Structure 1
């Protein structure tokens, strides 16, 4: 549990100081927006940061394993510093559509439910809508820094309004809307969720549009 204690200490040290700063700076660069109306979550006690010990004993090792995977991946930039409102891919699983068994999915979701720090973070599994040639539907772990997500939605409010998404919307509702959109808006939404600056998102979306039109891979 020593490593878990260190994670809690580092995370608490970052809350309220570094979490919103990068997003606020980026917001000033992208465009002028009204002051963000949402207040930061209240101070969080150490016991409420990644409370793995509150899980049933058989789920604790899985929760600790998932937390360490988060910190060993790009998701670190969501948990410490909130450079990325959302990160994903730290765990993958699948559902066989011809014989669906959700036991492992539910077990993983229960473990992820403890990967929170008050109201700062939310973690869950995102299921991709497309079924592969192997008749499997794949899922991956997603973690969201809620204050950073709200700031991002506030900055790009006209874009998110087409889905009815506001800063107070459930982050995973926004993720599902994006994942299930068949238009270029999907790529733009994911770019914003992953914390890329607007010029980079514009370039990426334009490249994807060009590739779709010309049937060629764009550089």
Structure 2
């Protein structure tokens, strides 16, 4: 999980670590009175804006983007049976639940137009660790996707207006290939790339042979490749529609972000990300 460690120090600050946060212009939000909480929220939002979540938070190229993830030792380690009711021991794991509570409360206080922040527990656990992924969803883009792709999402009873948390959790805890397809749509990949992605995984499962692929890269503030990226078949040549169209929509959003970013920098070069989004997150720019 590449982002678990990227915000580890921030989680220590928020969740009771020693030392005060760096001096910054605090979020001008009445519901947020805790300085650690404000710093934490600004930090995860800055991470998202500097990476591919920019295309959800300042646009609608991606209906959903991942932000950061955390790992907590709260999962059931009994691989034989999962019928018992008492899985978590407050004495041993209570601190982890308390930290999760603090993170959830901070996310609940984010109030930005058309954006929802969802903390998703991954279905799979790893030796007792549960990965918790924070995602951001642009609600209007999700509603449009649920309408356009009702032939897929309709099988789960998901229609425009569905709660983003319900949509994401429905996919996470569903069949492997439906999960892959659903995430592909949510992450803004073109239809042909989603089809290829699902079929490639299926072929790998059936034959054990890895399906060769190329990758279409879209730049972010942090780097030119490796973040907003999708796979396509070997031998395929990207086309004006949809590939170039997605690329140039994203490029316009990135250029806009670069134009306004310096106006929200603190003295220590951290970003007043919440204030930036408060001023510019709506209306959505495609």
Question: TM-score over 0.5 for the alignment?
Answer: yes
TM-score by length of 2: 0.56
Give the corresponding residue for 1:72.
50
- Asked if the contact 2:118–2:136 (Cα under 8 Å) also holds between the matched residues in 1, the reply is yes
**Cα pair distance change 1:205/1:51, threshold 3 Å:** farther
Structure 1 contact 67–115 (Cα < 8 Å) conserved:
no
Tell me the secondary structure at the aligned position of residue 134 of structure 2.
strand
Q: RMSD of the TM alignment (CA)?
A: 2.0
Which protein, 1 or 2, shows the higher relative CO under an 8 Å CA cutoff with sep ≥ 6? Answer: 2
* Cα drift, residue 106 of structure 1: 1.6
Q: 5 Å matches for 1:54-65?
A: 54-58=31-35, 59-65=37-43
Out of 173, 183, 194, the residue aligned to residue 166 of structure 2 is: 173
Query: Does the CA contact (< 8 Å) of 2:118 and 2:164 recur in 1?
Result: no
Query: Which residues in structure 2 correspond to 1:89-168 (within 5 Å)?
Result: 90-97=67-74, 99-100=92-93, 101-118=96-113, 120-133=114-127, 135-168=128-161
Residue of structure 1 in register with 2:65 after alignment: 87
Q: What 5-or-longer segments of structure 2 have no aligned partner? A: 1-23, 75-87, 213-286
Alpha-carbon separation, structure 2, partners of 1:187 and 1:218: 16
SS in 2 for 1:139: strand
Structure 1 residue runs without a partner (length 5+): 6-49
Q: Secondary structure at the match of 1:94?
A: strand
1:217 aligns with 210
C-alpha distance after superposition, 1:94-140 (max 9, x if no partner): 2212643212212112222233323x00002111021103x101111
CA contact (8 A) 1:63 1:114 kept: no
Distance, in Å, in 2 between the alignment partners of 1:63 and 1:52 is 12
Q: How many equivalent residue pairs?
A: 170
Larger Rg: 2
1:48-73: per-residue Cα shift (whole Å, max 9, x none)?
Answer: xx864521223111111121111111
User: Counterparts of 2:110 and 2:48 in 1: how far apart (Å)?
Assistant: 10
C-alpha separation between the residues in 2 aligned to 1:193 and 1:215? 27
- Report the Cα distance in structure 1 between the residues aligned to 2:181 and 2:147, rounded to whole angstroms: 15
**SS of corresponding position for 2:71:** strand
Q: Distance in 1 between matches of 2:207 and 2:122?
A: 26
Cα deviation 1:195-215 (Å, max 9, x = unaligned): 111111011111111111102
Q: Alpha-carbon deviation of 1:216?
A: 2.1
